[in-house]
Amino acid sequence: MNAPSHLPSVDKLLQHPRTAALLDSYGKTQCTQAIRAALADARSRWLAEAGSSPDSADALLDAAEHQLQQLFAPRLKAVYNLTGTVLHTNLGRALLPQEAIDAVVQALATPSNLEYDLADGGRGDRDDLVEDLVCRLTGAEAATIVNNNAAAVLLVLSTLARDKEVVVSRGELVEIGGAFRIPDVMTRAGARLVEVGTTNRTHEKDYEAALGEHSAALMKVHCSNYAISGFTKSVPEADVARIAHARQLPLIVDLGSGTLIDMRDWGLPYEVTVRETVEAGADIVTFSGDKLLGGPQAGIIVGSKALIAQIKKNPLKRALRVGKLTLAALEPTLRLYLHPEKLAERLTTLRLFTRPAAAMQQQAMLLQEPLQNLLGADYVVDHAAMTSQIGSGALPVESLPSHGLVVRPSERKRAGRLLQQLEAALRQLPRPVIGRLRDDALWLDLRCLEAADQPAFAANLQQLALGSSGKDGPA
Ligand SMILES: *Cc1c(COP(=O)(O)O)cnc(C)c1O
């Protein structure tokens, strides 16, 4: 159907005096497309509402400009993570230390010795940038780095167990974050899963009975995101290692988070370290770079020289390898671990885990009144003790004492709608604020809002635009 003759043409709008600024900001291709789309919209509206007056050139250009602004706006936005989950997978997991940020900026802007041996001018191996550090920090003989821990598990199984069997306890056939399930990864790696034991109990004799001529490895998987309690038994790594080694088979351990330090030294709950796992006899250990380690997304594989060499020769390694930005970020993060006395100050994730609740309480008390004033009589803002989670499946049952703000609607009958409105308004802020809805209240855990960020946070909140709250008048 043709345009109503009284709508301006695309050419006419492109030559409109207002369009010069749009052309300068956004270029001809996108401006033309946005104007066409605005015209198409206006045309269908005009057809749908017979007799309505067609849009003016200004209204059409407003629509085009709005579209262009959205098209050119960044999609990846900084947000405030007040969910109380420090390593929040949907919000990007670990925040990196300044040393890593600086190194990434440099790697983005300048050539580097990524695969170049500065000692002899020959070709290098990108793993060399971090391998000695990883080995020093874990006690392993060798290491290689891939895109994430899921890739690490895939690569290890594909190398060591293709067309063969891998024995795993039923209690450890976990699913991590929806898309990573041990049985599925096993299939994709071409390995056959042999399940032993029951969901809650697996014994040494179960492993022994499952081993045969097709066995390639025994595997233990850290039950990252769930805990079995009650009548349970699992076989410790050292005992599974002994069973494996008696048959010249390797023990593979997927540690998931994999910490490099004894977290108890920082007053945190205990989590088995990579070093302890290596010392228990694991031949290969895999873990994530962006969980408890506090670095970039990466999968770190450590183990014996011979097995790591075999893994590095798998053609999949080339497909799963990391880019220079990952290595640029990982290397300084690992170097921080060489100096544990300063670690809680420098490693951002550890600094967040170890923030005293009193610091968050002080912040909450400072923010309570300004937030109450912004929200008006529809809401009641309190500060309260709460608990943060480490997140990303690390220590699922452990929580950290924290403090924050709790916002409750002042009227019960409109509570649901008011809460939704508030939650949405916080998401629409220039820097969106993400909290947690629970028990008919919005909880804003201040653990991940460091004191230095507080002024910017308060200024951002001033932009809060709560829509009208409905029949009872404006909020
Ligand atoms: C998190 C986790 C994975 C996946 O690690 P990514 O780095 O997210 O790919 C695999 N196994 C276990 C046990 C985990 O906890």
Locate CATH 3.90.1150.180 in the chain.
80-88+353-470
Topology of the domain comprising 98-344:
Aspartate Aminotransferase; domain 2 (3.40.640)
Q: At residue 437, what is the residue type?
A: L
pLDDT at 229 (0 to 100)? 77
Residues 143/127, Cβ–Cβ less than 8 Å = yes
> Looking at ligand 1, which residue's alpha carbon is closest to its atom 13?
256
For the full predicted model, state whether its pTM sits above 0.75: yes
How many Å apart are CA 33 and CA 25, to the nearest integer?
Answer: 14
Of 89, 91, 149, 271, the one to substitute when testing ligand 1's pocket (max ligand atoms within 8 A of C-beta) is 149
Cα(211) to ligand 1 centroid in Å equals 26
pLDDT tens sequence across 334-361: 999 999 999 999 999 999 999 999 999 9
Q: At residue 77, what is the residue type?
A: K
What is the secondary structure of 457-473 as a DSSP string? HHHHHTT--PPP-STT-
How many Å apart are CA 221 and CA 235, to the nearest integer?
Answer: 12
pLDDT at 473 (0 to 100)? 39
Q: Which atom of ligand 1 is nearest to the CA of 393?
A: 15
pLDDT at 468 (0 to 100)? 52
Q: Enter the tokens of residue 180.
A: 């990573």
Locate CATH 3.40.640.10 in the chain.
98-344
How many Å apart are CA 399 and CA 46, to the nearest integer?
Answer: 58
DSSP label of 448: G
Among the listed residues 228, 212, 148, the one whose alpha carbon sits nearest the alpha carbon of residue 180 = 148
80-88+353-470: CATH, from 3.90.1150.10, 2.60.40.10, 3.90.1150.180, 3.40.50.620: 3.90.1150.180
Q: Which residues contact 53 (CB under 8 A, 6 or more apart)?
A: none
Cα(161) to ligand 1 centroid in Å equals 19
Radius of gyration in angstroms for the set of CA atoms belonging to the chain, rounded to a whole number: 28
DSSP label of 441: E
Mean pLDDT by 10 residues, the chain (475 residues): 72 97 98 98 88 86 97 97 96 97 98 96 96 98 97 98 97 79 93 92 94 97 78 91 97 95 95 97 98 97 98 98 98 98 98 96 97 97 96 76 97 93 96 96 98 95 77 39
Cα(222) to ligand 1 centroid in Å equals 9
